[in-house]
Structure 1
Amino acid sequence: MFASLLAPLAVLATAAPSDTAPPAKGTPPVTAQTQRSGGVRPPEQLAMRFDTADLAFELLPDRYRLEGVATLGFTATAPLERLVIDLDRNLPVRAIAIDGVDLPPAAWSNPEGQLVVRLPRPLANGQSVSARITYGGTPHVAVRAPWDDGVVWSKTRDGRTWFATTAEGYGCDLFWPCLDFPKGEPAQVTLHIIVPKGLKAPSNGVLLGVDTLPDGRSRWNWRIAHPNTYGIALNVGPYEQISGTYKSRFGNSIPMAYWYLPGEKAQAERLFAEFAPTLDFFETLIGPYPFGDEKVGVVETPYKGMEHQTINAYGNDYAKAIEGFDWLFQHEFSHEWFGNQLTAANWDDYWLHEGYGSYMQPAYGRWREGEARYAAMMQGQRGAIANQVPIVRGRVITEEEVYEAKDGGPGLDIYNKGSWMLHTLRGLIGDAAFWDVTRLAVYGRTDPRPGNFQPRFGSTAEYERFVRQVTGRDYGWFFDVYLRQAALPDLVTERAGGHMTLRWKVPGDGPFPLPVEVQVGDRIVTVPMTGGRGMLAVPDDAHVVIDPFARVLRRSTAVEELQAWRNGKTK
């Protein structure tokens, strides 16, 4: 079966010279449609379920080309006359067959990066269709991956091919025909990746086998269930591999593997030694590793990193840090829970990915070393919170409208402010409730066990419902300020006549009854702040510290002055 899938590609592989110059970064250019990921979708994309994707790739590094045959299975959820599939026009379509019957070229078009295929017959609700798309070309080269997207052509120290993809921003359509929005996940993807002799192709999910072709090339076959739309990744290089097995506290055994470049064995072994304790942290605090029947996989890439499901990209150069663990490995690994198991249904809710992904690093510091490390790591995030726009806007938006300031996005606030919001929420509702809410968000239940959950989609509204469900209280006022307003709550204090008054000032002047700890001399008092106001007795000669353990995210003039000073220096 695999040979027949790639028969057209084998001919192309021998048909051109091998002295093609490498494409420049940012080329070939992509259309606005290809750059767009998420947002309001065409009705045809909302009228079908993505069942399966069988993706056959052939990498031709001498010509900087990628050839592909994608066989996609869909089921109509409403009457459907056309397939609308996202695919960068830099990868021109050469042939399309519907249910095994070839279509004439006039039956499809792709002028701007959204392939429209006119079906030979309309589909009724519940009917299925198979589309086989043959395509290929020179994929868009990233300028500065992973902060922008595309492929990365690189070389190892000894001059061999080192290639990788990354697609969170512009989307999966950069190198395979897909539905480029968060809920466009296929239920199952099978990959067949042909690479030159001497190279390997670690990818998503379970390895089905490696076939050696007559000319010495190899075909790597993988299968993964419910992958995040941008989680499919191609990685090609002369990799070496470290493997092991994690014995989970839930009773199952999980394969672990790290693919690294030759000459780095000692460093690679030290990083691999972090896998099991990090996994134990997440399983203990949150719940089972979501993809235990596939693998924990990490691959060294020629760019910084990305949370590709079960094959996380790692390019941190084995950097050392005072925390004693590799922050990039830990952060990308956190996305197996927050991003791959729990996927935000709309880009507007991506603080669920990045806020949690950022918070789990201080949480891991606390797990390893205690409160001092946790506090130091939280303070490290605090100075980066910008508060220019709200984190959540309550509508369907694109990836660019989240990450790009020019498009009105909160940018890094979904990381740092999201993390501090979670820190404040944990202090407000307590550890037990906070982690139960987290488990509900990740698994849809508070008692996850291997086999009793599936990857799921979540939203801000659902998260708030989970908080109400666990605590029995409505914390809408909390999320209104931290998520739906830009400015932070400001705690205004006055001291006179042996008393101190405290008042929350929040955008919109709504209710904000967030309790505050106050240290008076050697005594710490929790002020309930009912109605957003509070008072306590304070002797005139007492030393007072507001929020001595920094449990609350609030306005800080020191941070504002620091940021203004930094901006001035930059200008």
Structure 2
Amino acid sequence: MNWMKSILLVGALTISFVARAQLFPHGETFTRQDTLRGTITPERAWWDLEHYTLEVKVEPEKQYLSGSNTMTYKVTGKPDRMQIDLQAPMKLTKAVQNGEELPIEHDGSAHFITLNQAQEQGKSYDITFFFSGKPVVAQRPPWDGGLTWQKDSNGLPFIANANQGIGSSVWWPNKDHPSDEPDHGVVLKVEVPENLMDVSNGRLIDTKHNRKANTKTYTWEVKNPINNYGININIGDYVHFSETYQGEKGALDMDYYVLRENLEKAKEQFKDARRMMEAFEHWFGPYPFYEDGYKLVEVPYLGMEHQSSVTYGNAYGNGYLGRDLSGTGWGLKFDFIIIHESGHEWFANNITNKDVADMWVHEGFTAYSENLFLDYFYGKEAASDYVLGTRMAINNDRPVIGTYGVNYEGSGDMYYKGANLLHTIRQLINDDEKWREILRGLNREFYHETVTTKQVEDYISDKAEMNLDPVFDQYLRDIRIPVFSYTIKDGTLAYRWENVIKSFDMPVKVWIDGKEVWLEPTTQWQSKKLDIASPTLIVDRNFYVAKMNVMGE
């Protein structure tokens, strides 16, 4: 992929805002709606999100939502119209500021509001958006996204949203772009039938009985910044249990909400949550949301990393629905959904990508967290076995980095190619404590921030004290796997990198007749005199590379 050319093409699309579809380097076709969703448009650029107060009434039998979102924002630039996102069939029915209804121009999923009141730079304002409708029903959550309307074994409604890819605007109106999070969090007021409970993000601060309507309203408060797709509603016949974890920042409330019928199974299976917290605070630093607590909530789909309200549907068993994704056996030592989705609290929720093209920052690091969980409890070799086993899931079909400005992720390889990239970098640093400090440092440096992949790459290179640009470019922006090409003749080893970008010069550890040797190949042939005429050469398995003896021996 010509990366810079891709960026320039996205820029051209952004500027022109043409309605027709455009073709991009890997055959992707994008439309004006993709650009409106994926770009910091002028109507998004002049204001900064500060807070949401989201009120929603959920009517299970009608599969219907209605409510309002009062948004607080600060003027940071020259005011223009305001872009708010809400996807059909949901309808944005009204926008009100200071009691005055504002004009709305609808353009697909983007809605442009003309503000009548003067907007003074540096000052904060409120605007309330009213919405209603039957949201998209998720057919295969969490992959396709939307609302899930199911019933438990007792015939009671069991409802949840999962909308990472499709976007939170699939069910409520907001600034649906990952670069801007509400700095001061969100309040969620969710009205549900009297016999059900809503569990959402943050802490429960109020429960109100609406006796005439035979409903209850649960009010949850999130004090920290939160990404839009992490905001969730989970509705069912829940029961609750909890524990307190003494973590790096003191006492952390860990709350669990499960269907009544699964309480005993959950009390046993959810012990992995405590183990997760111990391992990840070791590797990544303090849990990023002590103020909001940690929750694990049963839902009618597999699971998702909703901030401080991680959702769970892994059938109360280890592995990924009972399977070991690595094929090594180590994946059955933990509940995949508890470990993976909770790992996102550090990478996705604490550190969030500015553009979904950089989604590998979420998924690569979190897939790698599975390996680090094993490292903490079962040792380094077990962890290596696991992450190397996941290579069988890598397709190398297209670059891990997606296309910028059009809400387009890169290859699904962002998970385990991303994990193996990080595992390889750990070998290059060759100092486990230094590597651990880099991971913890990322979570300090970018605490509660949105980032670009360049910021993450530069931070790792800086703290590792080595130029890792060629390594990131090879694994994130190219689809080829480096080949260590070599030959040994008359006691001389000749070697180089093949199948790589021109600048690729990654050091590699090899074993020559059982002796550890570090080499520094480039794309040009180099040679090294050996003590043995015809030794055996093995490339260290922890480097995600291939090996080829050009003499065929």
Identify the residue that residue 404 of structure 2 maps to in structure 1. 396
- Is contact 1:342-1:443 (8 Å) kept? no
Work out whether 1:95 is the aligned partner of 2:87.
no
Identify the residue that residue 150 of structure 1 maps to in structure 2. 146
The code of the aligned residue for 2:432 comes to: D
- Is contact 1:427-1:551 (8 Å) kept? yes
The code of the aligned residue for 2:530 comes to: A
> 342, 352, 358: which is aligned to 2:351?
342
Work out whether 1:325 is the aligned partner of 2:325.
no
> 442, 457, 460: which is aligned to 2:450?
457
SS of aligned partner of 1:264: helix
CA distance in 2: counterparts of 1:237 and 1:194, whole angstroms: 12
CA distance in 2: counterparts of 1:34 and 1:266, whole angstroms: 47
SS of aligned partner of 1:268: helix
Work out whether 1:529 is the aligned partner of 2:521.
yes
More displaced stretch, 502-511 vs 154-163: 502-511
CA distance in 1: counterparts of 2:372 and 2:189, whole angstroms: 38
Shift of 1:197: 1.4
Shift of 1:304: 0.8
The code of the aligned residue for 1:489 comes to: P
Shift of 1:110: 2.4
Work out whether 1:365 is the aligned partner of 2:374.
yes
SS of aligned partner of 1:362: helix
> 304, 308, 321: which is aligned to 2:302?
304
More displaced stretch, 372-381 vs 525-534: 525-534
Shift of 1:345: 1.5
Shift of 1:48: 0.5
- Is contact 1:93-1:134 (8 Å) kept? yes
More displaced stretch, 345-354 vs 318-327: 318-327
CA distance in 2: counterparts of 1:99 and 1:464, whole angstroms: 45
Identify the residue that residue 189 of structure 1 maps to in structure 2. 186
Identify the residue that residue 281 of structure 1 maps to in structure 2. 279
CA distance in 1: counterparts of 2:51 and 2:158, whole angstroms: 29
- Is contact 1:34-1:173 (8 Å) kept? no
CA distance in 1: counterparts of 2:298 and 2:32, whole angstroms: 30
- CA distance 1:434–1:398, change in 2 (3 Å): farther
Identify the residue that residue 426 of structure 1 maps to in structure 2. 426
Matches within 5 A, 1:173-252: 173-187=169-183, 188-215=185-212, 216-224=214-222, 225-248=224-247, 250-252=248-250
- Is contact 1:99-1:129 (8 Å) kept? no
Matches within 5 A, 1:495-514: 495-514=488-507
- CA distance 1:71–1:513, change in 2 (3 Å): closer
Shift of 1:278: 1.1
Identify the residue that residue 416 of structure 1 maps to in structure 2. 416
Identify the residue that residue 294 of structure 1 maps to in structure 2. 292
Identify the residue that residue 133 of structure 1 maps to in structure 2. 129
SS of aligned partner of 2:116: strand
SS of aligned partner of 1:507: coil
The code of the aligned residue for 1:462 comes to: Q
* CA offsets 1:205-260 (integer angstroms, 9 cap, x no match): 11112112213421110111211121000110001112111111x25101111111
Identify the residue that residue 24 of structure 2 maps to in structure 1. none
Identify the residue that residue 478 of structure 2 maps to in structure 1. 485
* CA offsets 1:96-147 (integer angstroms, 9 cap, x no match): 21123234xxx11324111211111342322333211221110110121111
CA distance in 2: counterparts of 1:491 and 1:376, whole angstroms: 21
- CA distance 1:528–1:318, change in 2 (3 Å): same
CA distance in 2: counterparts of 1:476 and 1:317, whole angstroms: 42
CA distance in 2: counterparts of 1:555 and 1:465, whole angstroms: 26
CA distance in 1: counterparts of 2:315 and 2:364, whole angstroms: 24
More displaced stretch, 475-484 vs 305-314: 475-484
CA distance in 2: counterparts of 1:221 and 1:208, whole angstroms: 6
SS of aligned partner of 2:177: coil
**Paired positions, count:** 503
Identify the residue that residue 58 of structure 1 maps to in structure 2. 57
CA distance in 1: counterparts of 2:352 and 2:105, whole angstroms: 31
> 99, 112, 115: which is aligned to 2:111?
115
More displaced stretch, 278-287 vs 460-469: 460-469
CA distance in 1: counterparts of 2:476 and 2:353, whole angstroms: 15
CA distance in 2: counterparts of 1:377 and 1:37, whole angstroms: 40
Shift of 1:149: 0.8
> 230, 254, 257: which is aligned to 1:256?
254
CA distance in 1: counterparts of 2:395 and 2:195, whole angstroms: 48
Shift of 1:36: 7.6
TM-score between both structures, scaled by the size of structure 1: 0.84
- Is contact 1:303-1:315 (8 Å) kept? yes
Shift of 1:540: 4.5
- Is contact 1:254-1:295 (8 Å) kept? yes
- CA distance 1:34–1:333, change in 2 (3 Å): farther
CA distance in 2: counterparts of 1:462 and 1:345, whole angstroms: 11
The code of the aligned residue for 1:433 comes to: K
CA distance in 2: counterparts of 1:231 and 1:243, whole angstroms: 22
Identify the residue that residue 18 of structure 1 maps to in structure 2. none
* CA offsets 1:536-568 (integer angstroms, 9 cap, x no match): 526345443222xx12111379xxxxxxxxxxx
- Is contact 1:71-1:131 (8 Å) kept? yes
TM-score between both structures, scaled by the size of structure 2: 0.86
The code of the aligned residue for 2:99 comes to: G
CA distance in 2: counterparts of 1:389 and 1:537, whole angstroms: 39
Shift of 1:354: 0.5
Shift of 1:381: 1.0
More displaced stretch, 503-512 vs 343-352: 503-512
Shift of 1:38: 5.1
Q: Percent same amino acid at aligned positions?
A: 27
Shift of 1:534: 4.9
- CA distance 1:510–1:468, change in 2 (3 Å): closer
CA distance in 2: counterparts of 1:278 and 1:121, whole angstroms: 49
Identify the residue that residue 518 of structure 1 maps to in structure 2. 511
SS of aligned partner of 1:470: helix
SS of aligned partner of 1:356: helix
CA distance in 1: counterparts of 2:63 and 2:336, whole angstroms: 33
Identify the residue that residue 17 of structure 1 maps to in structure 2. none
Shift of 1:485: 1.8
CA distance in 2: counterparts of 1:137 and 1:152, whole angstroms: 15
CA distance in 1: counterparts of 2:189 and 2:32, whole angstroms: 27
Identify the residue that residue 75 of structure 1 maps to in structure 2. 74
- CA distance 1:313–1:124, change in 2 (3 Å): same
* CA offsets 1:266-299 (integer angstroms, 9 cap, x no match): 2101122112121011111221000011111111
- CA distance 1:102–1:230, change in 2 (3 Å): same
- Is contact 1:47-1:76 (8 Å) kept? yes
CA distance in 2: counterparts of 1:210 and 1:340, whole angstroms: 27
The code of the aligned residue for 1:304 comes to: L
The alignment yields a C-alpha RMSD, in angstroms, of 2.2
- CA distance 1:97–1:64, change in 2 (3 Å): same
CA distance in 2: counterparts of 1:34 and 1:160, whole angstroms: 38
Identify the residue that residue 542 of structure 2 maps to in structure 1. 551
- Is contact 1:301-1:315 (8 Å) kept? yes
More displaced stretch, 305-314 vs 365-374: 365-374
The code of the aligned residue for 1:416 comes to: Y
Shift of 1:332: 0.3
- Is contact 1:37-1:171 (8 Å) kept? no
CA distance in 2: counterparts of 1:276 and 1:244, whole angstroms: 9
Gaps of 5+ in 1: 1-30, 403-408, 446-453, 558-571
Gaps of 5+ in 2: 1-29, 320-328, 549-553
- Is contact 2:42-2:80 (8 Å) kept? no
